[in-house]
Structures are given as C-alpha cells and as structure tokens.
Amino acid sequence: MKKKLNALNLAGIFLLLAGMMISCGKEKENEPTEIPFTEYSLPIFDCGWINISYYDSGVTVVNNITDMKKYATCMNGETLHEINFSDHTLLLVRGLSSVFTNSINTVLFKYSNTEYKLQITVIIDPCTVDEYCSIMADWYISIIVPKIPDGAKINLKVDYVKL
C-alpha cells in the first residue's frame, strides 16, 4: 500500500508541475516584448524633417524610400542616410514641449505581429525664468526598428515629466 501511495503522489506532483508550466507559458504569450531600435539622425547640415504631424495624430510609419522622401528633405547636394527598408521600418513622432526639455526616453513594445505600443517620456527641467517658461519647441523621435508590416496598429503614449 505504501508503494502505491508514493507512486500516486509522484504522479500528482508531476501533473501539478506540468499544469503550472503550461499556465506559465500562456501568461508569457500575452506579455509584450521590448523591441530594440536604432535612433535615426538626419545629416546635420542641409537636411530637415517635413510634413510630420504632431503626436496626437499618431506614429508616422515609413516602410520605403518613396515615403521617406515625403518626410525628410535635403538641400545643397546633401543626401539622407540609407535605411534597408527590406528589413527595417522608420518610425517618426513629432511633439511640442518646453525649450527646457532635458531628455526624451523611448520604448517600443510588440504585443503581436500587428500590434505595438510606442511609449515616449519627455523629461522637462524646471523653468526658473518666467519670460522663458512659455517658449515651446518641437521635438522629434526617429527610430529604425525591425520591419513592421503595413497596416499594423501602433499605439502611442506620450508622458511629460517635470524634474
């Protein structure tokens, strides 16, 4: 009798552990994955961003050079830095904040092949000179990420934090 009880106990423990492993795997499927990215900078001289809406219009997704030329322009023979659009996507966001912006932190999460979240935190230094406190300036986020399919949904969250 004692041997049967031990065998039943072992079988029960095995089933319990197997069930826990399966349930843990299911929880992981719903957790977002942080996606690595590379910041994209325009050449310093003679290039600039154009036609990018403010962030309340969402993220601008660029998947080819033709679209890239709608949002960036260069003069005086300067050219844009190349992006391999076969494997990558350029994400653009434009915002507005105090000229006292200290830094901008960006994180991209992937929930599925067609659902992403771009989280931006704009960190602002305290304003100490009243006549400058209301001066605003544009900021841009331009990041190269692994290819995102056309039509994917990218939720955007922008937070402003004062130091």
Per-domain boundaries in the chain: 1-31, 33-162
What's the pLDDT tens digit per position in 68-94? 999 999 998 899 999 999 999 999 999
Q: What is the pLDDT of residue 21?
A: 52
Q: What is the pLDDT of residue 119?
A: 97
In degrees, to the nearest 5, what angle opens at C-alpha 117 toward C-alphas 54 and 119?
60
| 81, 41 Cβ separation under 8 angstroms | yes
Question: Which pLDDT band holds residue 25 (cuts at 50, 70, 90)?
Answer: very low
Q: What is the mean pLDDT of the chain?
A: 83
Beta-carbon count within 10 A of 75 CB = 9
Sheet with 60-62: strands ordered across: 38-39, 136-146, 88-98, 60-62
pLDDT for 28 beyond 80: no
Lowest-pLDDT choice from 46-50, 98-102, 159-163: 98-102
Q: What is the pLDDT of residue 97?
A: 84
Structure tokens at 120: 């931006």
pLDDT for 9 beyond 80: no
pLDDT for 113 beyond 50: yes
- Mean pLDDT over 99-122 rounds to 93
Question: Which pLDDT band holds residue 43 (cuts at 50, 70, 90)?
Answer: confident
Nearest 5°: phi and psi at 50? -140, 155
